[in-house]
């Protein structure tokens, strides 16, 4: 038996032990060294095909557990073109899982293993419920993770992601507001201009509820009052800007 085949078999055993232990990080050291002994041709096949019940890959489990170093090791062992494919083996991706539980370092490291184009594709990837990783982070109230997901996007890309709706029409803002995550709501609105903030707040899900109304349904009074106050301030700002523009046009005509 060749050394490559031996390493492949040992890697299978190591990953199986990782699954059986429920993601015990202490059993992954052997996997890290074995990856270097397995040919590039076999690495993707092994990492994408060896799954636990439910179809989770080792990468998906590592992200769910917040095992950042292992996520980086697994992704870095593959050519850049294969990394996104491994993440997308399951529609509820490794990025979704890490974002849901607020593993901000894991989220950042997964994204940093990808090219800019791959990062964008992954950020806009939706699971079977239409949720992006931003939806997951917002629902979990993981404010730092929300910032990490948005920070490297252009303003236009941020807008597109913030306005992305799941299968029932909820934006990430809907989910954060519904769960009463005040700071996460502030973070989602932070980089938007007043008119963009008002527009996002006016988006209705498919039962006709805005983020504020969705929060009210869940008795999130603090969120409702905060959004009401913020809306009033933004409307006033828009009126002031409009007045200044009108005065400028009058005085320069």
- The string of pLDDT tens digits covering residues 26-39 is 666 777 777 878 88
What separation in angstroms does the CA of 222 have from each of 125, 140, 198, 215, 216?
31, 17, 18, 9, 9
Residues 139 and 100: beta-carbon distance below 8 Å = yes
pLDDT at 23 over 80: no
Q: How high is the pLDDT of residue 246? A: 42
Average pLDDT, the chain: 86
Task: Give the residue extent of every domain in the chain.
Answer: 1-124, 126-253
Tokens 């594709």, located at residue:
121
Looking at domain 1-124, its CATH class is mainly alpha
Banded pLDDT at 1 (limits 50, 70, 90): very low
Banded pLDDT at 4 (limits 50, 70, 90): low
Share of the chain above pLDDT 90, in %: 59
Compare 236 and 121 and report the one with higher pLDDT. Answer: 121
Which listed CATH number (3.40.50.720, 1.25.40.20, 1.10.540.10, 3.40.1160.10) goes with 126-253? 1.25.40.20
Q: How high is the pLDDT of residue 244? A: 43
Residues 176 and 139: beta-carbon distance below 8 Å = yes
Characterize 71-101 residue by residue with b for buried, 16 or more Cβ atoms within 10 angstroms of its Cβ, and e for exposed: bbbbbebbeeebbbebbbbbebbbbbbbbbb
Angle at 224 between CA 221 and CA 229, to 5 degrees: 125
Banded pLDDT at 82 (limits 50, 70, 90): very high
Tokens 């913020």, located at residue:
230
Residue 17 three-state SS? helix
Largest CA distance in the chain: 88
Q: How high is the pLDDT of residue 253? A: 54
Residue 171 three-state SS? coil
The residue-averaged pLDDT of 231-249 equals: 46
Q: How high is the pLDDT of residue 248? A: 40
Same fold, 1-124 and 126-253: yes
């Amino acid at each position: 038996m060749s050394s490559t085949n031996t390493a492949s078999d040992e890697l299978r055993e190591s990953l199986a032990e990782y699954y059986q232990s429920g993601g015990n990080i202490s059993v992954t050291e052997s996997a890290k060294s074995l990856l270097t002994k397995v040919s590039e041709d076999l690495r993707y096949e092994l990492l994408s095909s060896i799954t636990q019940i439910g179809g989770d890959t080792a990468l998906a489990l590592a992200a769910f557990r917040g095992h950042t170093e292992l996520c980086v090791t697994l992704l870095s062992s593959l050519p850049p073109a294969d990394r996104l494919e491994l993440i997308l083996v399951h529609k509820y991706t490794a990025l979704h899982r890490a974002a849901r539980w607020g593993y901000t370092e894991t989220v950042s490291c997964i994204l940093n293993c990808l090219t800019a184009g791959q990062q964008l594709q992954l950020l806009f990837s939706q699971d079977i419920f239409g949720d992006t990783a931003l939806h997951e982070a917002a629902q979990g109230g993981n404010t730092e993770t929300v910032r990490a997901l948005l920070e490297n996007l252009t303003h236009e890309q941020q807008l597109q992601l913030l306005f992305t709706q799941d299968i029932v029409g909820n934006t990430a803002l809907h989910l954060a507001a519904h769960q009463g995550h005040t700071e996460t709501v502030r973070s989602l609105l932070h980089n938007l201009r007043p008119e963009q903030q008002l527009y996002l707040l006016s988006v209705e899900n498919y039962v006709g509820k805005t983020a504020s109304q969705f929060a009210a349904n869940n008795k999130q009074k603090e969120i409702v009052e905060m959004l009401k106050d913020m809306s009033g301030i933004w409307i006033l700002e828009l009126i002031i800007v409009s007045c200044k523009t009108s005065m400028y046009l009058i005085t320069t005509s």
